[in-house]
């Protein structure tokens, strides 16, 4: 557990976003932290970058249509990293008992419906699927119409700690297109902040591991646990490692 009274250290870095060089500074714990404790730092950087990309898109006439209370995308298959799957377990565990039982009940109900539809087992192989297979299982999943267990009155009940995949799913098309999963008519926001793709490989603390993808809907299921997930790393080193992977991601943006 991070000691909130432990000293922090400023970490300065530059980000080049389509020729705009942004000088940034992060205040990092001056101590070793776990990978789940690292997630809030990752999300803070991702949200800041997505804010910049939102402005860039708006200057091109593409206004984000995502709004609080619109859960149109929350019946889609959400791919998360093993780190975030562990974090989801921690989030559920920390809920008051009645809330925990309600959320776990929704997970179980959703998993039963996916099993009845014959796709729960296949979801366990998401990592090794081809792009076409991932697209197909995404449609199959959506056809079952299972809401995310954290969706309350069409709003995310874990908004501040929602996974990267949820943060980076931003559209400029009408919500109805997300609700019908009409792939051709969904206009995704153009951005380079697909942090989920880094996190899939970041369970080694460097981002060099073979990616592992977990469907959010199975995150409640107990697993043997990846021993690498219990390691602790010096926070500034972890952050530098993440920035190194981000530099690769930025260079891949066209
Ligand atoms: S975690 Fe929140 S934003 Fe993500 S799918 Fe679930 S309800 Fe929607």
SS3 labels along the chain: CCCCCCCEEEEEEEEEECCEEEEEEEEEECCEEEHHHHHHHHHHHHHHHHHHHHHHHHHCCCCCCCCCCCCCCCCCCCEECHHHHHHHHHHHHHCCHHHHHHHHHHHHHHHHHHHHCCCHHHHCCHHHCCHHHHHHHHHHHHHHCCCCCCEECCEECCHHHCCHHHHHCCECCCHHHHHHCCHHHCCECCCCCCHHHHHCCHHHCCCCCCCCCEEHHHCCCCCCCCHHHHCEEEHHHHHHHHHHHHHHHHHCCC
How far does the centroid of ligand 1 lie from the alpha carbon of residue 26, in Å?
26
**Is residue 2 in a domain?**
no
Q: What angle do CA 110, 158, 86 make, to 5 degrees?
A: 70
CB 158 within 8 A of CB 139: no
Shortest-distance atom of ligand 1 to CA 158: 2
Q: Is the CB of 170 within 6 Å of ligand 1?
A: no
Predicted pLDDT at 253: 46
Token pair in block for residue 126: 């998401």
- Which residue has a Cα nearest atom 8 of ligand 1? 74
Q: Is 151 exposed, middle or buried (0-12, 13-18, 19+ CB in 10 A)?
A: middle
Q: What is the pLDDT of residues 175-206, one digit of tens each?
A: 888 777 666 788 888 887 789 999 999 999 99
Predicted pLDDT at 28: 92
CB 53 within 8 A of CB 193: yes
Range of the structural domain that residue 39 is part of: 8-251
Q: Is the CB of 158 within 6 Å of ligand 1?
A: yes
Q: Which residues contact 227 (CB under 8 A, 6 or more apart)?
A: none
**Is residue 207 in a domain?**
yes
Q: What is the pLDDT of residues 141-169, one digit of tens each?
A: 999 999 999 999 889 999 999 999 999 98
- Structural domains counted in the chain: 1
How many angstroms separate the Cα of 177 from the Cα of each of 12, 198, 230? 40, 27, 40
Predicted pLDDT at 56: 87
- Which residue has a Cα nearest atom 1 of ligand 1? 162
Q: Is the CB of 148 within 6 Å of ligand 1?
A: yes
Tokens 């809030």 correspond to what residue? 40
**Is residue 41 in a domain?**
yes
Predicted pLDDT at 3: 65
β-bridge partners, 34: 232
Taking 50 as the pLDDT cut, the residues of the chain under it are 253-254
**Is residue 212 in a domain?**
yes
Predicted pLDDT at 196: 95
Token pair in block for residue 197: 């793709």
Shortest-distance atom of ligand 1 to CA 159: 2
Q: Is the CB of 219 within 6 Å of ligand 1?
A: no
How far does the centroid of ligand 1 lie from the alpha carbon of residue 43, in Å?
14
How far does the centroid of ligand 1 lie from the alpha carbon of residue 162, in Å?
6
**Is residue 3 in a domain?**
no
Predicted pLDDT at 254: 37
**Is residue 230 in a domain?**
yes
- Which residue has a Cα nearest atom 5 of ligand 1? 74
End-to-end CA distance of the chain: 39
């Amino acid at each position: 557990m991070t000691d909130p009274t432990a000293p922090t250290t400023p970490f300065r870095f530059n980000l080049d976003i389509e020729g705009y060089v942004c000088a940034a500074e992060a205040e990092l714990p001056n101590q070793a932290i776990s990978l789940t404790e690292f997630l809030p730092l990752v999300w803070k950087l991702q949200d800041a970058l997505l804010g910049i990309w939102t402005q860039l898109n708006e200057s091109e006439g593409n206004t984000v249509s995502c709004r609080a209370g619109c859960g149109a995308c929350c019946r889609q298959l959400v791919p998360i990293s093993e780190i975030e799957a562990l974090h989801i377990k921690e989030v559920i565990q920390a809920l008051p008992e009645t809330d925990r039982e309600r959320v776990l009940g929704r997970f179980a109900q959703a998993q039963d419906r996916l099993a009845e539809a014959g796709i729960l087992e296949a979801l366990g192989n998401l990592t090794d699927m081809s792009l076409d297979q991932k697209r197909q299982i995404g449609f199959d999943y959506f056809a079952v119409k299972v809401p995310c267990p954290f969706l309350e009155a069409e709003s995310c009940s874990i908004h501040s700690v929602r996974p990267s995949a949820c943060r980076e799913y931003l559209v400029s098309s009408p919500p109805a297109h997300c609700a019908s999963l009409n792939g051709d008519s969904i206009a995704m926001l153009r951005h380079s902040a697909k942090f989920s793709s880094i996190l899939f490989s970041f369970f080694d603390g460097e981002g060099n591991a073979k990616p592992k993808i977990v469907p959010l809907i199975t995150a409640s299921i107990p697993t043997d646990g990846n021993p690498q997930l219990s390691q602790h790393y010096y926070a500034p080193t972890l952050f530098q490692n993440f920035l190194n992977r981000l530099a690769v991601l930025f260079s891949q943006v066209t």
